[in-house]
Amino acid sequence: MPEEVIGKVSDFFSKPVVAGISLTGALKLGDIIHIKGHTTDIELTVNSMQINNVDVKEAKAGDAVGLKVSERVRRGDTVYKVTD
């Protein structure tokens, strides 16, 4: 499936398992993303997204969001949105 770059991982928190992502593209709940890096390769559906600890349904380029992730990701990993 085609993918477009929509951001980079800027931070990672292990409790809860959350990635801080600096967006360069739009993202909304229900989107499928692929996080890829040197040792990272996960795909997940966006079920929970926050900006400044407030739940949001969508975010735009320039926003810094927190996303729940299924496993460890690393700073600098590239975030792709999987498109149909």
pLDDT tens-digit readout, 44-75: 999 999 999 999 999 999 999 999 999 999 99
pLDDT in tens, 2-59: 999 999 999 999 999 999 999 999 999 999 999 999 999 999 999 999 999 999 999 9
**Exposed/middle/buried for residue 22 (C-beta within 10 Å: 0-12, 13-18, 19+):** middle
- Which two three-digit tokens encode residue 45? 């559906």
Predicted confidence at residue 52, as pLDDT, reads: 95
Residue 28's domain comprises 3-82
Q: Work out the angle at residue 7's Cα, subtended by the Cα atoms of residues 37 and 5, and round it to the nearest 5 degrees.
A: 80
Q: Which residue has the tokens 């499936």?
A: 1
CATH, residue 53:
2.40.30.10
Q: How many domains does the chain have?
A: 1
